[in-house]
A and B are shown apart, each in its own frame.
Chain A
Amino acid sequence: MDLRFTDAQPTAEERRVVERATGIPDSESHDRVRTDSNLRIFRTGRRSVVNRRHLLLPALETVQSEIGWVSEGALMHICRVLSVPPAEAWGVATFYSLISVDPSPPQVWHICDDIVCRRQGALDLIDRFESGELQPPDSRWAPSPCLGQCDRTPAAYIQRAGKDDMVVVGPDTARLNGLSPDRHSPNGRPQPPPIPQFGQPHLRLLRRVGAVDPGSIDSYLAAGGYQALEAAVRMGRARVVAEVKASGLRGRGGAAFPAWIKWETVANSPEPVRYLICNADESEPGTFKDRVLMEDDPFSVVEAMTITGFAIGARRGYLYIRGEYPLATKRLSRALQEARRQGLLGEDADTGVDFDIEIRRGQGAYICGEETALMNSIEGLRGEPRNKPPFPTVSGLFGKPTVINNVETLCNVLDIVTEGGDAFAQLGTAQSTGPKLFCLSGAVKRPGVYEVEFGATLGELIDLAGGLPDGLHLRAVLLGGAAGSFVLPDLLSMPLTFEAASEAGVSLGSGVIMPFDQHTDFGDILTRIAEFFRDETCGQCVPCRVGTVRLEEALARLRRQPRPGDKDLIAEIDLAMRDASICGLGHTAAIALRSALDLGLL
């Protein structure tokens, strides 16, 4: 195999950035043609992977964040250094919405116009950008799907070439006063406690949030940090897996799959090389719980991953975090450094656990939260989900047995190890054990992340968030996010457990609870959801690539001038998408729309 590159050359700056991102000295990268003799290739599944291919996304991401866009010269340079065919690198670069392959001004404002923000000031903000009234210097702007800041709307994520990217939220967004990307930086501004339940004694997952300094490992250790890892090492791998089994812990990322089944399969695999992935892509509209954990208690994520890696016999873990979470990324990187420095992480850790963690930043693709798309993304391929089986526990990242769990799922492991699986199983109900985080946003007085034991009712959660603002009453709740369904107030007494939800024909998904009031234009909300799925489908399989477009078109007609049979058509599309699509995105894309139609919200 010969790779052919175009003549475009990188600037000196681009060279430097690529060298930094890949760790490969620039002197190694001048060959114009690579041949079998200087290239090692191995095959996984249907694609070939060149051994440096996994550095493609970090390289693209670094060039994007340092230079502001990926020029032909930079792309060719990356291809030469990593031995990636240019057409494939182009295919990867054009897959992500945060990567620009066109010249771009140094600042790009991604302004959220998703379901919550659009009802809370985002549309006005966008109007003011569109009319030119608001015009940050040297910038362009683009509408964005949910940024995971739904408790402090409206939100914007700003890429800044050569500088830290940042998020601005709430009134700051409209005033264009960027918050510092680090809320704990010494700018003198007092920070409100990040969670409404701050200080309450029942908190487990959130107990350190706002109470420990997320930048200091000493603060974490003083609050009992790393006692769980110590306990885990004392217990041994098999016991840890057994405790997780006894705990009944189920996945918090949306699918509610028992964690121990994955762990045990990988722990018992004959294959010596295994991986752990922490799924921190959190892009389901309305979801922001993992962000709060990562921003304000980053060490617990690191400790929980270390315990999990130990238990399943993995030496390497990846934490895949969405690109729009710069603060969480920064704090996690710092936490990794601190943990390594303290001998609590890495090959030669004093704990005797040979495990290290690498952070990978997503670049604007909801689909990369799907577990197998995420693995392809890490491997430097397009973020297209894989057909299952084989499941990741058998053939996951780089074709090796892999455990992938959500951030919140993993954080539960700390208490399971220290208090025992049985104690954990006492919390909640028989089939839904432990504490659970819910993300309340939309028409509530105090939006935020709330922790309850499984079994609290939908109405209780809404009350915790202060109920609806005065003068408004509840019309419907979107449960589980864009991939979830609408329910009416008659379900307020439903306990929020996996079993009760499934009996009611709904899903808790990633823990989104989004109340809507009587003035809601559901046609508008549903259109945004349909647009979301059309924008975010990877486009690989026909039912979803075209189905999401046909759904959007049918909905547009329903809102204006329906053709006879349009509602039946939507049902037909939905059925084929559920039955024949490859992954969960296609399976769930029509659920919210169908539930709204069934409930007469449109």
Chain B
Amino acid sequence: MDQPDTAKVATEMVQVTIDGASVAVQKGATLLEACQQMGTEIPTLCYLETLTPVNVCRVCVVEVERNRTLVPACSRMAEDGMVVSTDSERVRHSRKMVLEFLGSSVDLSLAEDEVGDWMERYGADPARYGPVSAPAAAGERDARKPGHHHHVNGETAEGVHQPTKVDNTLYIRDYSRCILCYKCVEACGIDAQGTYAIAVAGRGFDARISTEMDLPLGDGACVFCGNCIGVCPTGALMFRSEWELRRADLWDPQAQSVTRTVCSYCGVGCNLELHTQDNRIVKVTSPQDHEVTSGHLCIKGRFGYDYVQNLGDVEQNSIDEVLQAARRRSPK
């Protein structure tokens, strides 16, 4: 076989038609990238530029001529001559149902703002499945066995609601809000952190994100880099400080500011975004488009803000301090 001409391969283009308009994209580009190139918005939940696509949420589906089923735009490669509809009746129906399925089983109240917009755009009505089932007891969902479940009567719509897992001082896991997008698993594993502290366990509707043996985070492999928090789209994973403030009804985005800085712990040069409320750091993020971090940090950058605040090394202090400061300002 001839050696492929690498220069030629790199620039090889394919022509696709999206909603009637023709567009040329680089070979190997996904339909999502083709749509973005045209300015066509496609909703996505489990897709993140910095992570390998898992294509599980299916909210990004589009219709491709001569394909029996819809295809996920986030991971389907564009092929020459493809004719794609991004807003057909079938596409709108599947997106509506996916959003209803999630909305009727998961607490989406802290999900990224677009989710609400999409619900409206596609006419999703999660309430039509009836009231959500009572929350499971702590640990009950984690103990469910694959292949078995209790009989249902259809009066309520079964949900994933359960008590929040609060097992360390740095961050909490509220799996009532988990849409099982696999982003945290990927960020913890091959795509960023390489720690593999969490994975999907169980099967079917009882599938869940779990540590080994459902151990508390600190007893397993977790190194508290917080990268999973950084990618979670629904607020299921949250800084303990943010969670405490929200619980006390003292979380106040209006009173917050974000300062960009470079982490001073080591020489890598990670960009940090310090979110402050009442002059206290309440959470730390890193910009996803930053070439060093891609949004990912380590424990020192993510949680080491005690050091910045000179509050000593007992993290519990920082949360109490933050709460006290917020209380002093707003006597709710």
Contact = CB atoms under 8 A, between A and B. Distances in A.
B199 A535 contact: no
Interface stretch (A225-233, A290-298, A419-427, A547-555): A547-555
Interface stretch (B10-18, B145-153, B261-269, B288-296): B145-153
Interface string A110-148: 000000000000000000000000000000001111000
Interface string B83-123: 00000001001101110011011000000000000000000
Contact of B147 (A6, A88, A364, A587): A364
Interface string B133-163: 0000000000001111101111101100000
A537 interface: yes
Contacts of A535: 146-149, 204
B200 A541 contact: no
A582 interface: yes
B325 interface: no
A541 B204 contact: no
The B contact surface, by secondary structure, is loop
Determine which residue in B61, B69, B105 has the highest number of CB atoms from chain A within 10 A of its CB, and name it.
B69
Given A6-B215, A543-B58, A580-B61, A548 B204 contact: yes
B251 interface: no
Interface in A342-364: 364
Interface in B32-68: 52-59, 61
A576 B189 CA distance: 31
A31 to B, nearest CB: 15
Contacts of A89: 212
A87 B196 contact: yes
B180 A539 contact: yes
A542 B221 contact: no
A3 B147 CA distance: 30
B201 interface: yes
A218 B93 CA distance: 60
B287 interface: no
B222 to A, nearest CB: 9
B321 to A, nearest CB: 31
B169 interface: no
A536 B58 CA distance: 19
A95 B220 CA distance: 20
Determine which residue in A3, A85, A96, A143 has the highest number of CB atoms from chain B within 10 A of its CB, and name it.
A85
Interface stretch (A12-20, A42-50, A190-198): A42-50
Given A87-B198, A90-B210, A543-B97, A550 B58 contact: no
A97 interface: yes
Contact of B200 (A97, A382, A554): A382
A534 interface: yes
B314 interface: no
A548 B205 contact: yes
B256 interface: no
Contacts of B200: 91, 382, 539
Interface in A32-76: 43, 45-48, 72, 75
B70 interface: yes
Nearest to A89: B212
A549 B203 contact: no
A545 interface: yes
B55 A582 contact: yes
A90 B199 contact: yes
B202 A94 contact: yes
B190 interface: yes
Contacts of A43: 190
Interface residues of B, number: 68
Contact of A542 (B53, B57, B195): B57
Nearest to A363: B146
Contact of B154 (A96, A556, A580): A556
Nearest to A575: B93
Contact of A3 (B52, B102, B155, B196): B196
B26 interface: no
A91 B209 CA distance: 9
Contact of A87 (B55, B104, B194, B210): B210
A506 interface: no
A390 to B, nearest CB: 9
A222 interface: no
Nearest to B206: A539
B153 A580 contact: no
Contacts of B72: 387
B290 to A, nearest CB: 23
Interface in A372-402: 382, 387, 389
Contacts of B158: 549, 553
A341 B54 CA distance: 45
A4 interface: yes
Interface string A573-595: 10110111110000100000000
A87 B190 contact: no
A271 interface: no
B157 A550 contact: yes
A579 B152 contact: no
Contacts of A580: 58, 61, 69-70, 94, 97-98
A579 B154 contact: no
Nearest to B142: A94
B201 A534 contact: no
Interface in B219-244: 219-221
A538 B220 contact: no
A145 B102 CA distance: 28
B204 A536 contact: yes
Nearest to A1: B194
A576 B186 contact: no
A270 interface: yes
A142 B148 CA distance: 9
A270 B97 contact: no
B138 to A, nearest CB: 18
Contact of B146 (A72, A94, A572, A575): A94
Contacts of B56: 540-542, 582
A576 B72 CA distance: 13
B147 A545 contact: no
Contacts of A519: none
Contacts of B128: 569
> Closest 8 CB pairs between A and B?
A97-B147, A85-B196, A576-B97, A539-B207, A556-B154, A546-B101, A86-B212, A557-B154
12 contacts: A4-B220, A94-B146, A94-B210, A387-B72, A535-B147, A539-B204, A545-B204, A546-B101, A549-B105, A550-B157, A552-B154, A580-B58
Interface of B: 1, 52-59, 61, 69-70, 72, 75-77, 90, 93-94, 96-98, 101-102, 104-105, 128-130, 145-149, 151-155, 157-158, 179-180, 186, 189-190, 194-207, 210-213, 215, 219-221
Interface of A: 1-4, 6, 43, 45-48, 72, 75, 85-91, 94-97, 101, 142-145, 270, 364-365, 382, 387, 389, 531, 534-543, 545-550, 552-557, 560, 563, 569, 572-573, 575-576, 578-582, 587
Given A43-B190, A537-B203, A539-B202, 11 more contacts: A75-B212, A86-B212, A90-B201, A365-B146, A365-B203, A534-B204, A539-B205, A541-B56, A550-B104, A555-B154, A575-B90
